[in-house]
Amino acid sequence: MELSKPWLDLEGYKKTRMLEAEYEAELAERFLRQGLVRNAAGKAFQAWKALMGAMLADKVAELERLYPGSVEIKEGRRVKKAYWILALVPTTLMKELSQLLGREAVLATSLALQIHQYNGPDREGVLSPYRNEESARGDVQILIDIVKEFLSRYK
């Protein structure tokens, strides 16, 4: 299924991103069961990012106020910057964007960004914020559970 562009079909975009979040969370759980913690971390992060996109679709007016102007997307075609941000949910803006969604989303985003940095266990904490795989596994499962909880509320 092709992802709908939010500037063309906002409701279609929202539905597709919710499905994406659900599928990514399912894959993350499957990877965890198979002991593939690093892969699960990536999928859990993608699930949260997709879900943020879906939830932010209800905040277009606020996005337009915060991010005025337009951006070129292809060969002279321009879209409002707010819709471009909504389509991508850039990792560098996730903390800022989460504040539009409330306290729970801010906390979940902090966890998601922490998980996004997981590159495998690192006792010294130089290359990864997790000293061991079990610590990472626990946070990944928490994020998966949060995604599922938000999805159940949103449906």
Q: How many domains does the chain have?
A: 1
pLDDT at residue 74, rounded to an integer:
84
- C-alpha closest to that of 104 among 145, 43, 132, 136: 145
Asked if residue 36 is part of any domain, the answer here is: yes
Do 152 and 21 form a contact (C-beta atoms < 8 A)?
no
The pTM score is 0.95
Asked if residue 1 is part of any domain, the answer here is: no
Average pLDDT estimate for 25-36: 98
Asked if residue 4 is part of any domain, the answer here is: no
pLDDT at residue 155, rounded to an integer:
72
Domain CATH number, residue 112: 1.20.120
Average pLDDT estimate for 129-154: 96
Asked if residue 124 is part of any domain, the answer here is: yes
Proportion of the chain above pLDDT 70, given as a percent: 99
Average pLDDT estimate for 139-148: 98
Average pLDDT estimate for 58-76: 94
Asked if residue 3 is part of any domain, the answer here is: no
- C-alpha closest to that of 38 among 112, 124, 114, 140: 140
Q: Which domain holds residue 94?
A: 10-154
